[in-house]
Structure formats: structure tokens, C-alpha cells
Amino acid sequence: MATKAFKNEKIEAIKENIAKAKVAIVADYRGMTVEEITNLRRQVQEGKGDLQVVKNTLARKAVEGTAFAELADLLKGPAAIAYGFEDQVAPAKVLSKFIKDAKKGEIKGGVLDGRLLSVNEVKDLAQLPSKEELYAKILGSLNSPASGIVFSITGVMRALTIAMDGVRKQKESA
């Protein structure tokens, strides 16, 4: 049986992650081996997040009174919480892909900006482009008109140069 100090330590670990998180997604890890869970945790950590297998009663106490209090409704059965510290989309992408590929476990829901997300909303979140992709698209959109202007100006200059060269050749031959 776990001691009270051990339980308090686990609650504090969950609270620390909750305090840093922008999104938290709860998944059922039933059927996964320890090796698979460890692999999943590493993938989430690569996306600047963390995955924590939690005891439901301790997790419910940890989220009480926080923006993630809605997670308590999802904490039934075997539960792991994936946190996103920098990117709200990355944990959803990693979990969705891993569960789809492994055909084990399932997403129960999540919380984003204090709002409870259904399973379908988490799957929709996973379909969104990452921050880097969005930045690239915005930069491309901003850069596109400038590139068009540059190509237009250089096209006119090229046509003028070709016309002047044609006139020069004509005068030389005459």
C-alpha cells in the first residue's frame, strides 16, 4: 500500500505538469505493453510534452480547482494523460497516430483552454497543422506578393534588355 507521502508526491508531479500544460489529453492504455507506453512517452516528449500514467483518484485531486478540472470526468479505467507544454496539437497528433498504428488503447477526451474536448474534437485537433507548418504557410502567404512583384519587375527588365540587344544587333548589321 502506498504511503501518504508517496501519494502526495504523485499528486504534486501531476500538478506540476498541469501548471505548465496548454493541453491535456486522456487516453486509455489498455492492451499496451510497458515498452509501447515508454515508446509513446518518448514520442510525446519529442513534441515538447509529456505522458504520465496516473492513478485516477490522485489525478482527480491534482486537477481540482485548476483549468483542467474537467479532466476528472474522463478519469475512469486505465488512464494516461498526455500534456502539451508548447504545442497544443502535438500530443493529439502523436496519440492518434500511435493508437491507430498500434491498434491498442483509445482517446477518452481532453481539455484545451479550460474547455472539455470530446474524442472527436481531439481527433480534429490532431488533423490541424503544427505551429511550424502554420508559420511556414503564413510566411509563404506574406512572401508571395513580394515575390510576384520582384518577378514582374525582373520580367520587364529582361524584356527591355532583349529589345535593346535586338536594336543593337540590327544597327550593327546595317
How many whole angstroms separate alpha carbon 4 and alpha carbon 26?
Answer: 25
pLDDT of residue 86: 86
Q: What is the pLDDT of residues 47-69, one digit of tens each?
A: 888 998 888 888 888 888 888 88
> pTM of the full predicted structure?
0.71
Q: What is the pLDDT of residues 11-34, one digit of tens each?
A: 888 888 888 888 999 998 888 889
pLDDT of residue 25: 92
pLDDT of residue 42: 93
Nearest to 66 by CA among 102, 21, 25, 101: 21
pLDDT of residue 1: 54
Regions of the chain where pLDDT drops below 70? 1-2, 146-148, 174
